[in-house]
Structure 1
Amino acid sequence: MSPLLSGPAPRWFSIPAHRPFVQDLARGLFDALTPLGPEALSQAVVLTPTRRGARSLADAFVAAGGGRAVLPPQIRPLGDLDEGEPPFEPGDLAVDLPAAIGSLQRRFELVALVKAHEKALNRDLDAPAALELADALGGFLDSLQIEEVSPDKGLAELVEADLAEHWKVSREFLEMALDAWPRRLRELGLVDVSQRRVALLQSLADKWRTDPPKGVLIAAGSTGTAPATAELLKVIAEAPQGAVVLPGLDEALADKAWAEVDEQHPQGAMKRLLTRASLTRAQVTPWPGSKLYDSQGRWRRRVINEALRPAKATADWLDAIETLRAEGKADGVDPIAEGLGGLSLVTARTEDEAAAVAALLLREALEVPGRTAALVAPEQSLARRVQAKLARWDVCADSSAGYPLGGAPPGVLAGLLARLLVDPLDPVALLAVLKHPFVRLGLDPDSLAVDRIGLEAKALRGARRRSWAELEGLCEPPALDLLQRLQAALAPLLTVGHGRPAATARALTETLEALCARPEGGTGPLWSGHEGECLARLLAGLIEESDGLPDTSPRAFAELFQRLMDGETVRAGGATHPRLRILGAIEARLTRADILIVAGLEEGVWPKGAPIDPFLSRPMRAKIGLPPPERRVGLAAHDFAQAACAPEVVLLHTERRDGAPAIKSRWLWRLEALAKDAGVAIPGRPDVLAWARALDAAGDYAPAKRPAPVPPLEHRPRKMAVTRVEALTRDPYAVWARDILKLYPLQRPDEAIDARARGTAIHAAFETFAKDHPREVPDDGAAIFEALYLAALRAEGMPEEALARESALAREAAEWVMDLERERRADGRTLFVEVYGEHTLKVGDRAFTVTAKADRIERDPSGFGHILDYKTGAAPSKKQVETGFSPQLTLTAAILAKGGFRAVGPASPGDLTYVEVTGRKPAGRVEVRAAAGPESEDAAFKALEGLAELIARYDDPAQPYRSRTAPQFVKAYVSDYDHLARVFEWRASGEDGEGE
């Protein structure tokens, strides 16, 4: 027998928090057992809290062997009792225990139970709400099983008279659930995972108590938070060659402070474990492999433990500081300064900056050969951010966090289909499906890409279409063929209504396979790899095990499915860097690296806030014997203390989270307060913070100049509409982009119906009404006009729900328009609507043609041609018209005067009028910018002269097409090309110009 285990039982050891746990454990066992023979080490059994801890310990034994071949002990994770691996499940222990219920099946069965008893909760629950309550109920049942609490008696007296009525409802529901759930499990022949694990632990403890193992048996790293685990640890410590090795027991904490240790303290779990085992701290022996002298680590541990001492004992901080410094005199050091050596604090502004800091620290470690680094992140989102940052250097860290199925490619595609289940014609979702890398629709990638571009341009951009037939009407082959393939693939989903979730899941599966079908057969990577397998398990569970779920509407199923995907974590393997790790808080308890980045030090993250329990209040939990929420805080504090005691640690805090100010973790605040009282500053890492801020920082401010392209003369337009002349006057750059480069604005998918659509609709209504009723205004003219306007809005893609508001405006507008029509038609004038005209003029030795499409020209008996232009917004001011910045009406008048409107014939320019139609109060307004007669004629010919001068200027090969040459009207004019011209950038730099 090794001297290590030759002492009297029970044998309890501790490895100090500042020591590398698995390395010391492996070194101690290696030195103690290898002298006994080559098989002594391999025959030992070591129990660790997690699988990752088991792997780390195996690696540590290789290092302990100094490169020699080593047969390590049998290392088993204590948390995986359901795996059926010795020594946990030899047949004699598990023979009488039913199999454990699967996690997905359990959730569905609990949903059925909640739904069956929803009346007791005074609720009418759909599937997503029932799932939320089922998960809360599952957590409650797990707590009862893990803590070995029997609430039968406690529940009856749970609700006192002074508590709210809804707690009584909770009690009655829990009483029913505690009766119905075990009965349902018996019907299935299954048990809960937690219940089975507790039973196995109890059976194993009973067996080893009566027939203890003769070989070496070590339990290391566990704090025995569950009663069954604590009892097993007690039995192991009393075995002939058994021992328990605790992580970071604070033997130096003063007895007075130890007496104040509560659930929130880092030592709370171990104090509870030692009390249960009837032990004092003095009976716990230092682990032999940890006796190496380490001055800095020793004082680091003392500083961290003093900072986290019980709140009632912090009044003695100044005395504790003096005591520490007195102890340090023997070593000739200031123990607090020595303890804070190697520890630094970085405060980032945002979560993204914190991720960049962590990634840079990990990357920095790789510059030193053999140096290892690890990030301790209590939340998955930060771990994923850091992994994304590391990808810029093609570095992949070994991460235990995983990622939600909903963020993996198969999950993204399935989530899009769930979205289409609710809204099958959502163009954004349809485009996302077509552009998903897994989707093939039986086509090769090149053909799919070409057809998709055509379908996108023709049917999926702009206003939303209301039917598949409308989409088909917009397409021609081959885009039409792709649309039909897509519709056929989505057919199983398009027929889904209110019904069984299993049927909807089956339809979703069929649609996935149809979308991902390859021309050569198969579905590509849809079901392969960790991500595909995870999605397949989820869908299979929904199809085969969801009988207990209530019927769902398409919307409820989509929400339910998304919740289920968010609850599935993908932990993919693959090539990772051997010297970088991203760890959870519990895993970091056993694993060490040369540099440890401890992140997430904000309240609500580390420690997490207490979860909301919909069934039990805090006093109710205490009454039935469940642990208080503070116990979680104590366990998190212990993990923080273990991590903070590593030789080189960077504590990482974020000032803002989710856009809101964040509060420093209570542990970080206390550490800073202790250091401040001792007159010692915690050092920072300004270099890394500066690197992070410079990593993606913009260069020196060098604003773009106002663009001024100079195209060749032969490329400049010789024919322009009056609206484009206005653009050339205000913003020549827009003419260069659209009329010369042919860059046309691309509509957004599902583009909102805005003022442009209303303008188009009002033009269409005026045009159709005038053509159908060119002379007399009918008695029901207002109703006709209103119907025409709303029909035009529907044609533009306005949804029916938005038309409710427009109907009221249309009704007001139609009445006003009819009054206007009767007034203007009173003299028997002839109406010409949407009429085309043009005029060619000589500019130098070159011809230039100006065109116009007039909204309406009214030829009165006197021979005047009155020109009307419809507006649903504000019309240009009289000054803008007179100065030539809005030449649409005046140039149209010039074309009319020159006989350019053949359908109208020669006519003198009449009133130049804008008709504003809003539907508000007032419903419309007539704005005359030039009256019939000399004023109108003079304005028309001045506009023609101004056009000739403008074109002559741009006939100069050196004349550039500058952006925004009329800054005084910048608020009244918005161009589709402002972003391309970087208007905001050069305007912000002060280069506004003075116009031309």
Structure 2
Amino acid sequence: MPPADPQVFALPPGVDFARELVQGLVQRMRDEPPEAMARVRLILNAGRMSRRVREEFDGLGTRFLPRIELISDLARVPMPGLPAPVPALRRKLELACLVDRLARGLPGFETGSGVFSLTDSLLALLAEMQSEGVHPEVFERLDIQASHAEHWRQSLAFIRIVSRYFETDLDAEGRQRRVVETMARTWADRPPQERIILAGSTGSRGATRLLMQAVAALPRGALVLPGFDFDMPEPAWASLCSGPIPIEDHPQFRFRALLDGLTLSPAQVARWTETLPEAPGRNALVSLALRPAPVTDQWMREGQALADLPAACANVTLIEATDPRQESLAIALVLREAVFRGKKAALISPDRMLTRRVAAALDRWSILPDDSAGQPLPLTAPGRLIRHLARLPGRKIPMESLLVILKHPLVATGSALRGAHLRLTREFELSLRRKGPAFPDAEALRDWGGTADPERQHWSDWLAALIDAVPAGGNHPVSAWLETLSALLDGFAAGPGGSVAASELWLGEAGQAAFRTLSDLAAQDETGLTVSAANFADLIDTLLNEGQVRSTLAAHPLVTFLGTLEARAHGAELVVLAGLNEKSWPEAPSPDPWLSRKMRLDAGLLLPERQIGLSAHDFQQAIAAPEVVLSRARRDSEAETVPSRWLNRLLNLAGGLTAAQGPEALAQMRARGARFLDLASQLDLPQERLAPAPRPAPRPPAEARPRQLPVTAIKTLIRDPYAIYAARILRLRPLDPLKPGPNPRLRGEALHRVVELFVTGFDPKNSLDSGQKHLSELAETVLQEMIPWPSTQRLWLHRLLRIAPQLVAQEAQRRAEATPAVIETSASIELGPTGFTLTARPDRIDLQHDGTALVYDYKSGTPPKEAEVRHFDKQLLLEAAMIERGAFAQIGPRQVAGMSYVHLGGSGECRMLALGREDVAQTWTRLQELIARYLARSQGFAARRAMQMSRDIGDYDHLSRFGEWDITDLPVPEDVG
């Protein structure tokens, strides 16, 4: 290493960087004594690179090792006069106080983000300023044009204040830069005698670039750059900085910026070793494809030099899956085949959801990958419980949220009654689904617990006490919210009669990481910050998202999951680049709520293109592996996807190089990928094909058939007899949803209750205005009692009040002609010798002055048409028949003069059916025939016999296995029981 010029070396993409770094260092030190290696200071970019370098040294046998350090360790180097960095959490809470004041003091400052989301983005901005050496005075010189939105003016004024406030309090980034600046000054005056080698970094951050320049200027210093493109010609290098705006999204731009700072040209970068990549032809193709735009002329000119692309891409496989599930299965098969062949494989992707899918698919073969990112702390058992409990305060507790917590695997683990807790949770869930309430409170819990069962009462008292401790809302200090959260954690983990010390809450690495997170928050909360419940939940989310938990299980030695940054240190024989779509490769840059792009450029801060360029460099290194699989899904859960810009360029370039057989190479790449897609499509196919179920028509014994039905069930018996069989014979009832909502049934019950009270208390002597006022008061009271959702209450009340004048006027007219005699009263009647009983609960029966009856049915939905009433919906006709046969003791046998539907929606019209006594008599006769037929053993209860619409969904369609059979299939009778 002669000390003449800055010593800058590099390794091309496609070589094992860690291995070649060690080999080159050992080769250069071969003529020196063994202890000389111990005096070498080797500074690396990441922890995984450090581990790989140590492994390579271990493979060389017993020898002295260099002093291996990390660039990030410099932030903790002791230095006189330089205090320790301010803890990140304390800085976050201090900034949150200021951001909260900003958000409340400037109503126009709207970003769509919460307080702590804004705080995190501001923290990142301040850290970037300190790392890049941007002084706050820069913001004083920024010229805000009149065209800028008021938002940018307000944010800039705020940043000018905040940046100076924190100028002297250094975070880790700022302290690292101060350390580097001090080291650079010291080295310039007194160069160290030891060799210093900085390897593996691209110099993308200001402090790191400054350190690299200082090391390169040392007489015995050297840089070893990763993934340097030796195939790029000088004009291509020159084009990176020739325009008014540098092309930062190119993978080699950071090297060009670094070399310009060292007054070196790319041609002066030497190879660290002479080892060539596995596929030089592929590297040349990728290098040309990633040239800075415009590139078409370069493709046409330099592409002619490429030859035999099928050979260059012989070890490249292209998987173009239909959806992410198929992509994950295909990747899992690729990795499984690599394990079978004994190859070390690495999956590289920024899409963490995709990597979790692949890990789940590998589990079927008991392959546990070594995931470098570990498991996000919010997804661990303690993290999920903390997040659920942090969202309880400040609102009514929904049924599903409470049940999710009660079923959590860590709840009640400190109690000996864990089994009883699970049983009582199930019983409580069934009760809530059947009877409610949608938002259970302590009173509802104690009512459910009762006094008959001591164990149940003890459990409900335990849970009611915890719910009582949940604050209703408001703004409180973070310490108060944290105290509430800790009490809830302890109470739920302990369980009824248990203790948190005996629970599993803080066990394992995940529990310890969660405990440290909450403990750090408690220790750093000295600001007195007051936040709402929602903002506190956001704070907990942001803190948990910063944590990762490594699996303690033994991972498979041949399968590794890596992030894109670790592409330069993988050392794998097979590399899978997964999720090659836009917004993943590259990831979409996070929006900056504080500075616009123009303001960042003028201030000398980093542009979003920097992250794109780093991702492009990671792609260029990873695709140069000995064997590569490129994968993407054509569609995600929302829409069609767009291929990654780099994959798109590569495919377009290869497809246009017909002289080099580019189309043939692409066809072979896709054919290799299609093999895995075919295997993935067959992975879940059953080994033998099962015959689809026929359309059922079960025939239970005569004694098991129902002997009583309400008039409302006759419609079901005609349209879907199987539903009567399932509900009345098998006694199966569908459970209400876990997350109840304002469904049509609840609306009908509430409106019927309103009308019942209105009719009962109606006074014909009052004016129409007083009647409308009375109806409005009743509706508001009933809806508040029966509907737990305030927005739904107001919406339904508005709809009812819109038709209130019609309802009151109709009621006044009815009272002038008739008197209500039966309101919501049940009655029954037997159908002759069959022993079958028909029941009814009519909404309303009025008696006219001539003694005849009028039957009314209130409909919250659209009333049925007359033809439907005649053939299917026979409720009013059957009620009329029951009236004429004296089923209602209050009025005795009466002739029915009319049947009407009152619509409690729309325009509130009242429609009388044009049906007479002949229709009533005919309906009764047909009912007797229908019931007699279904009481006979020979009659089956066919599924979906005459549904109104073919797309209608029944409660028992899954039980009848609808979908395996079609509505055109004939029912297959089968004796059961």
Structure 1-normalised TM-score? 0.86
**2:380 is aligned with 1:405:** no
Task: Give the drift of 1:554.
Answer: 2.5
1:107 to 68, 88, 92: 92
Contact 1:463/1:750 (8 A) holds in 2 = no
The equivalent residue for 2:879 is: 892
**2:629 is aligned with 1:650:** yes
Task: Give the drift of 1:153.
Answer: 5.3
1:831 to 809, 821, 825: 821
Classify 1:949/1:649 alpha carbon distance in 2 versus 1 (closer, same or farther; 3 Å): same
Classify 1:976/1:786 alpha carbon distance in 2 versus 1 (closer, same or farther; 3 Å): farther
Task: Give the secondary structure class of the aligned counterpart of 1:966.
Answer: coil
1:659 to 629, 633, 638: 638
The equivalent residue for 1:61 is: 57
Classify 1:35/1:712 alpha carbon distance in 2 versus 1 (closer, same or farther; 3 Å): farther
Classify 1:434/1:126 alpha carbon distance in 2 versus 1 (closer, same or farther; 3 Å): farther
Which deviates further from its counterpart, 548-557 or 431-440? Answer: 548-557
1:595 to 559, 564, 574: 574
1:807 to 797, 803, 813: 797
2:292 to 310, 329, 334: 310
Q: Return the alpha-carbon distance in structure 1 between the equivalents of residues 552 and 2 of structure 2.
A: 42
Task: Give the secondary structure class of the aligned counterpart of 1:76.
Answer: strand
The equivalent residue for 2:244 is: none
The equivalent residue for 2:74 is: 81
1:255 to 218, 227, 234: 234
Q: What percentage of aligned pairs have identical amino acids?
A: 31
**2:830 is aligned with 1:840:** yes
The equivalent residue for 1:391 is: 363
Q: Return the alpha-carbon distance in structure 2 between the equivalents of residues 8 and 570 of structure 1.
A: 47
Extract unaligned runs of 5+ from structure 2. Answer: 242-247
The equivalent residue for 2:464 is: 487
Task: Give the drift of 1:642.
Answer: 0.9
2:341 to 368, 372, 389: 368
Task: Give the secondary structure class of the aligned counterpart of 2:838.
Answer: strand
Which string of whole-angstrom CA distances, capped at 9 and with x for unpartnered residues, describes residues 28-61 of structure 1?
4455657866656566443221001111222233
Q: Return the alpha-carbon distance in structure 2 between the equivalents of residues 761 and 616 of structure 1.
A: 52
Classify 1:636/1:788 alpha carbon distance in 2 versus 1 (closer, same or farther; 3 Å): closer
Classify 1:704/1:219 alpha carbon distance in 2 versus 1 (closer, same or farther; 3 Å): same
Task: Give the drift of 1:97.
Answer: 1.9
Contact 1:777/1:821 (8 A) holds in 2 = no
Code of the residue aligned with 2:874 in structure 1: it is: P
Classify 1:203/1:358 alpha carbon distance in 2 versus 1 (closer, same or farther; 3 Å): farther
1:377 to 324, 349, 352: 349
Task: Give the drift of 1:504.
Answer: 1.2
Classify 1:77/1:966 alpha carbon distance in 2 versus 1 (closer, same or farther; 3 Å): same
Q: Return the alpha-carbon distance in structure 1 between the equivalents of residues 913 and 440 of structure 2.
A: 40
Which string of whole-angstrom CA distances, capped at 9 and with x for unpartnered residues, describes residues 419-444 of structure 1?
32132332221121222222228562
**2:734 is aligned with 1:745:** yes
Contact 1:410/1:532 (8 A) holds in 2 = yes
The aligned runs of 1:20-419 (5 Å cut-off) are 20-30=16-26, 44-62=40-58, 64-65=59-60, 72-82=65-75, 84=76, 89=77, 93-115=78-100, 129-152=114-137, 155-159=140-144, 167-183=152-168, 185=169, 191-208=170-187, 214=193, 217-237=196-216, 242-262=221-241, 263-288=248-273, 290-291=274-275, 297-312=279-294, 314-325=296-307, 334=308, 336-369=309-342, 371-419=343-391
The aligned runs of 1:598-637 (5 Å cut-off) are 598-637=577-616
Task: Give the drift of 1:228.
Answer: 4.1
The equivalent residue for 2:407 is: 435
Contact 1:127/1:551 (8 A) holds in 2 = no
Which string of whole-angstrom CA distances, capped at 9 and with x for unpartnered residues, describes residues 586-624 of structure 1?
211122211101123333332234443333334433333
Q: Return the alpha-carbon distance in structure 1 between the equivalents of residues 322 and 33 of structure 2.
A: 57
Which string of whole-angstrom CA distances, capped at 9 and with x for unpartnered residues, describes residues 72-118 of structure 1?
54432223334x5xxxx3xxx52432111122212112223444566
Contact 1:355/1:385 (8 A) holds in 2 = yes
Task: Give the secondary structure class of the aligned counterpart of 1:592.
Answer: coil
Code of the residue aligned with 1:469 in structure 2: it is: E
The equivalent residue for 1:543 is: 522
Q: Return the alpha-carbon distance in structure 1 between the equivalents of residues 604 and 207 of structure 2.
A: 15
Task: Give the secondary structure class of the aligned counterpart of 2:9.
Answer: strand
- Structural RMSD (CA): 3.6
Aligned residues: 948
Code of the residue aligned with 1:464 in structure 2: it is: A
The equivalent residue for 1:949 is: 929
1:911 to 873, 897, 917: 897
Contact 2:156/2:594 (8 A) holds in 1 = yes
**2:5 is aligned with 1:12:** no
**2:837 is aligned with 1:849:** yes
The equivalent residue for 1:514 is: 491
Classify 1:286/1:781 alpha carbon distance in 2 versus 1 (closer, same or farther; 3 Å): closer
Which string of whole-angstrom CA distances, capped at 9 and with x for unpartnered residues, describes residues 468-515 of structure 1?
435644553555554432231233322553221221122112111111
The equivalent residue for 1:582 is: 561
Classify 1:499/1:740 alpha carbon distance in 2 versus 1 (closer, same or farther; 3 Å): same
Task: Give the secondary structure class of the aligned counterpart of 2:560.
Answer: strand
Q: Return the alpha-carbon distance in structure 2 between the equivalents of residues 813 and 450 of structure 1.
A: 48
**2:696 is aligned with 1:723:** no
Q: Return the alpha-carbon distance in structure 1 between the equivalents of residues 880 and 156 of structure 2.
A: 83
Classify 1:361/1:948 alpha carbon distance in 2 versus 1 (closer, same or farther; 3 Å): same
**2:522 is aligned with 1:533:** no
Classify 1:69/1:693 alpha carbon distance in 2 versus 1 (closer, same or farther; 3 Å): farther
Classify 1:645/1:839 alpha carbon distance in 2 versus 1 (closer, same or farther; 3 Å): same
Task: Give the drift of 1:734.
Answer: 0.8
Task: Give the secondary structure class of the aligned counterpart of 2:572.
Answer: coil
Classify 1:105/1:571 alpha carbon distance in 2 versus 1 (closer, same or farther; 3 Å): farther
Structure 2-normalised TM-score? 0.88
Task: Give the drift of 1:226.
Answer: 3.7
Which string of whole-angstrom CA distances, capped at 9 and with x for unpartnered residues, describes residues 775-801 of structure 1?
977665554455444444344325343
The equivalent residue for 1:758 is: 747
Task: Give the drift of 1:275.
Answer: 2.9
Task: Give the secondary structure class of the aligned counterpart of 2:959.
Answer: coil
Classify 1:871/1:671 alpha carbon distance in 2 versus 1 (closer, same or farther; 3 Å): closer
The equivalent residue for 1:329 is: none
Classify 1:496/1:485 alpha carbon distance in 2 versus 1 (closer, same or farther; 3 Å): farther
Task: Give the secondary structure class of the aligned counterpart of 1:690.
Answer: helix
Extract unaligned runs of 5+ from structure 1. Answer: 186-190, 326-333
Task: Give the drift of 1:272.
Answer: 2.3
Q: Return the alpha-carbon distance in structure 1 between the equivalents of residues 107 and 875 of structure 2.
A: 67
**2:490 is aligned with 1:505:** no
Contact 1:15/1:247 (8 A) holds in 2 = yes
Which string of whole-angstrom CA distances, capped at 9 and with x for unpartnered residues, describes residues 345-385 of structure 1?
2223333433333333222211213x111111134333333
Which deviates further from its counterpart, 217-226 or 559-568? Answer: 559-568
Contact 2:853/2:898 (8 A) holds in 1 = no
Task: Give the secondary structure class of the aligned counterpart of 1:493.
Answer: coil
Code of the residue aligned with 2:363 in structure 1: it is: A
Which string of whole-angstrom CA distances, capped at 9 and with x for unpartnered residues, describes residues 279-327 of structure 1?
3444433233x43x66x522222222222233356523233233344xx
Which deviates further from its counterpart, 520-529 or 740-749? Answer: 520-529
